[in-house]
Structure 1
Amino acid sequence: MIVPIANKVGILSSRINPIDTFFCCKNSTNVADRVLMDIHNSGIIACLRAKSAELAVEAARAALRGGISVLEITMSTPGVFEALQCLVQEYPSASIGVGTVLDRREAEEAVDLGAKFLMSPAMVKGILSDVTEGQALYIPGAATPTEVLSASTDGAKIIKVYPVSALGGVEYFAKVKKSFPHIPLVASQGMGLDSVGAYICEGASAVVLSDAIFDKKAMAERNFIQIYHLACSAATKGNQAVRKTRCMDE
């Protein structure tokens, strides 16, 4: 039994929908596939870094209310697992995961506390091989075509191209994707709201947005209304880009 450690930072909420809880438990054996579907449908992965677990939870709540359905909390956030546990209890139907995971111990603890996906800046083979199939989705990072192919061959269902802005942005991503049209890819690092459509048009399953949603000034000032509105804009842009791409494919 997991003790609600989120109480330690005063962030545990009672806003739990029993229907969501039923859905989550009923489909728990297919978590990885459901997260993959959420990523493809939303076009956005919100990446949250905060200076405390309490701040992370409040910012995450604002983003989730704004329409974000896939949310990553980075390991650099103090009390990251407290925030994770609180959020997966509050929003059992959302795809909430942990990012910058670098070893199996972190991965195992995150999954035990309810993380539905794990993300790394590079490929950590121990995580891919040790995370039970279907229990959580692992998204490794890759910077080159060789790394993308290697991660896919090892079994990764989706890979993030990172750090994409430093490597050449949309143009670089498009060239990598052209070589691997069959491999789902996520664009990560340095993107703003205005670039979401371009990346998805070039074949990205989703775009990772950090400061574009969790604006540094808004986070420092605890301006959760602004974060909510940025999340609304991001969710809308992601949905529009996904719909446009699907219409073009039909």
Structure 2
Amino acid sequence: MEGGKAILSISRSPFRPFSPVPQTTIHLRHYSRSPLSAVSPLHTTSSTLPEPLKQIHKAGIVACLRAQNVKTAVEAAHAALAGGVSVLEIVITTPGALEIIKVLCKDYPSVKFGIGTVLNIEDARKLTKAGAQFLMSPCTVMEILHWFRGSEILYIPGVMTPTEIFSAYNAGAEVVKVYPVSALGGEKYISTLRKPFPTIPMIASQGITTGSVGKYINAGASAVVLSDAIFDKEAMIKEDFDEIKRLAHLVTIEASLARKGNSKL
């Protein structure tokens, strides 16, 4: 919202893997804050925050699923959820992403489901209409950020530099995704960013492995995005869903222990 008015006109991006859809109704919340407020990002449990963000803070993990077909995607999702995952992102390039999100939202009403690699407002509207509760991008798509700002839908823009972090936050982002974090220095980069931006919630994404989840959380990440660490490539090819369940259980325990052992939490 800008000046108490909802933004109703958004320019279109050139990326349109899906056909445009009619405008959806978004229930807006009142939104106001001072830049870099003194509230700790690891204590942001206010009722004004979107429910997906509350769950992300609580879980410390966002499972990122990409698959070659609907059947494998759904079964892999079931396995990860059985292993303890409570926030699941489906990459938009997964065939049948819309159908998958509809099925999962119906079967698991307490889990927060979202779509990743969303690059334009047309897709964003269509995906949220299908049931996606949060959206992620590898970069900051201002059209999406402005459209969902202050709404019940959580948009998580991708950022890399300090300037991008502050720009996204100042434009209304409630949390940012630091990507590609392993190429930028891993948990040390998160720790470095926390010094100038101690109150901006950051989710670390890309290349995070089993065993390093706790390091990122201890460095100041509100949560981490895990892809291969849960949906192991070989396990996905072999459809070894027991292994996916085991990995999901392993990393959820690791995140839980890290959060309990972090005095800031």
For the superposition of Structure 1 and Structure 2, which TM-score range results when normalised by the shorter chain? 0.7 to 0.9
Give % identity.
Answer: 49
Query: What is the aligned counterpart of 1:211 among 228, 240, 247?
Result: 228
Partner of 1:82: 99
Is the deviation greater in 126-135 or in 111-120? 126-135
How far off is 1:32 after superposition?
5.6
How far off is 1:92 after superposition?
1.2
Deviations along 1:89-121, one digit per CA (max 9) or x if unpaired, are 111110110000000011001110111100000
- Mapped partners of 1:31, 1:183: distance in 2: 16
- Mapped partners of 2:232, 2:225: distance in 1: 14
Residue identity opposite 1:46 in structure 2: A
Is the deviation greater in 210-219 or in 124-133? 124-133
Residue identity opposite 1:157 in structure 2: E
Consecutive unaligned residues in structure 1, runs of 5 or more: 1-28
Which runs of structure 2 are paired with 1:83-232 in the superposition (5 Å)? 83-131=100-148, 133-232=150-249
Is this contact kept in 1: 2:60–2:224, CA < 8 A? yes
| Number of residue pairs the alignment of both structures matches | 221
Is this contact kept in 2: 1:42–1:206, CA < 8 A? yes
User: Normalised by the size of structure 1, how large is the TM-score?
Assistant: 0.85
Deviations along 1:111-143, one digit per CA (max 9) or x if unpaired, are 101111000000001111112633210000000
- Mapped partners of 1:32, 1:217: distance in 2: 38
Is this contact kept in 1: 2:51–2:152, CA < 8 A? no
Is this contact kept in 1: 2:149–2:173, CA < 8 A? no
Is this contact kept in 1: 2:217–2:259, CA < 8 A? yes
Partner of 2:260: 243
Find the residue that maps to 2:50 and give its secondary structure. Answer: helix
Is this contact kept in 1: 2:63–2:226, CA < 8 A? yes
- Mapped partners of 2:97, 2:167: distance in 1: 30
Is this contact kept in 1: 2:162–2:193, CA < 8 A? yes
Partner of 1:36: 53
Consecutive unaligned residues in structure 2, runs of 5 or more: 1-28, 30-46
Residue identity opposite 2:132 in structure 1: A
How far off is 1:218 after superposition?
0.4
Partner of 2:73: 56
User: Normalised by the size of structure 2, how large is the TM-score?
Assistant: 0.80
- Mapped partners of 1:32, 1:231: distance in 2: 26
